[in-house]
Amino acid sequence: MDEEIRRAAGIILGAPLTRRTGRELLYCGLSGVAGALGFALLLALLALGLSISASVLGTVIGLLLLTLALRVSRRIGSLHRRLSNRVLGQHVEAPPPFQPGTGILGRLDRRLRDRAAWRGVWYSLIKLPVAAVQLYAVTLTVFGVADLAYPAGWLLFHHSPGPGPSPMTAVIPLPFGGTFHVDSWLGTFLVAAGGAVCVVAAAWLARGINAADYAVARSLLGPRTMAERVSELERTRTLAVEDSAAALRRVERDLHDGAQMRLAALAMNLGMAREKLDDDDDATVRELIDAAHRNAVDALADLRDLARGIHPPVLDNGLASALATLAASSAIPVTVAADIGPRPAPAIETIAYFCAAELLANATKHSYANQITIRICTERTGLLRLEVGDDGIGGADATRGDGLAGLAQRVSTVDGRIDVSSPPGGPTAVLVELPLEP
């Protein structure tokens, strides 16, 4: 028991001598100053911005000041995160980077709705009392060290000739304040003892306030709120969907301008070579060129199917054209009715097209239908509706078979939905709903 008490006392009293306390105090000083300055700067910008915005003329300047304040807020946040990381080794994750919108209004709108920046403002406001305590801890340490040095000071200066501090005056830190007069050497040890208490108290105060600061920084400067996280995920998912659509388009274009074009030229040259061969030329050469020519033509056809599967070029002209071409190549008669108002995003068009193609292929393979209908329309609510129906035997099951399950997966990447109605005996009707923008 005694052992433990002694150890605890050792830890508590020895705290000021550890390197950690040095770092904590350094952080208190830097972060306290930065916090106080940041508070003053932001408060000035915000107050000025808001008060100027109140008048019509000042609105523009006021808004500019506000956006400036929010930019500064992000900078301050990053400064505090860096300080915490460098000095204390406590990592605070950065919020998502600012996403500038397009156009002046777009940029302004994004800036004013930049949640990370606003939370940074909150941090700076809360930081003021925190910074005060941090700076107090630093002062306490300075005073404490000065008081600790008192006995030595007495010996060095008090008895020296000339006017010395007699009696010596000790500084007493807030909240007690005031001065304390000492007129004997023994008395200085009392001051030194007070200094020691200050130094120990300052060490623990620094640790405590820094822990609190870290907690505040983590919640306001670091990991986002759930809503922010969700909107961030939505944004990146949209980017991913659009990216992959654009990448497929690029692949198709590269194939078209590269391999397909070269193969066509090759086939043409082989065709010309074949014509130049006379009947009396070597029969094996003729056969070889014939075979090469056939291969080139077949490869061209294969490549065309492949490229079309990657991204049908006619989609560039809109869904209606693409579906008409799709319908024209179907083995079962297809009627297409399209009523598309505002054009959906390319990624959505691609998904809708491949849904239609897959459903058409399914119907052709399994339905024994005589007639397939494709209806596609945009709704005012911002939805693209695709209906594919047939008069076949029904029995399609969304939970079985890769085709429909794959479609459901594809549709769900943009929060679309798919609804399959296919009772045994038919008819089958599949409804796909997609947002106009991913």
Contact 344, 352 (CB under 8 A): yes
What is the maximum alpha-carbon separation in the chain? 131
The residues, any chain, with a CB within 8 Å of residue 150's CB and separated by 6 or more, are 168, 170, 182, 188, 189, 191, 192, 195
Contact flag: residue 88 with another protein (CB under 8 A): no
> Which is nearer to another protein, 99 or 335 (by Cβ)?
335
Residues 301-330 contacting another protein, CB under 8 A: 301, 304, 307-308, 312-314, 316-317, 320-321, 324-325, 327-330
Tell whether omega for the bond before 16 is within 30 degrees of 0, i.e. cis. Answer: no
Among 34, 270, 351, 360, binds another protein (CB under 8 A): 270
The count of chain residues that interact with another protein, using the rule CB under 8 A, is 40
Residue among 375, 391, 377, 383 at smallest CA distance from 423 = 391
Q: Which of residues 271-290 bind another protein (CB under 8 A)?
A: 271-272, 274-275
Nearest to 396 by CA among 434, 370, 358: 358
Cα–Cα distance list, 333 to 369, 372, 396 (Å)? 9, 6, 20
Query: Would you count residue 208 as binding another protein (CB under 8 A)?
Result: no
Query: Could you say whether residue 245 binds another protein (CB under 8 A)?
Result: no
Verify binding: residue 46, another protein, rule CB under 8 A.
no
**Site membership for another protein, residue 343 (CB under 8 A):** no
Is 19 or 276 the residue whose CB approaches another protein more closely?
276
Residues 245 and 346: beta-carbon distance below 8 Å: yes
Taking alpha carbons only, the member of 321, 398, 392, 320 closest to residue 358 is 398
Does 104 engage in binding with another protein (CB under 8 A)? no
Across-strand partners of 170? 180
Q: Which is nearer to another protein, 231 or 321 (CB)?
A: 321
Binding span for another protein by CB under 8 A among 154-162, 163-171, 207-215, 264-272:
264-272
Q: Residue 228 or residue 391: which is nearer to another protein going by CB? A: 391
Site for another protein, rule CB under 8 A: 253, 256-257, 260-262, 264-265, 267-272, 274-275, 293, 296-297, 300-301, 304, 307-308, 312-314, 316-317, 320-321, 324-325, 327-330, 333-335
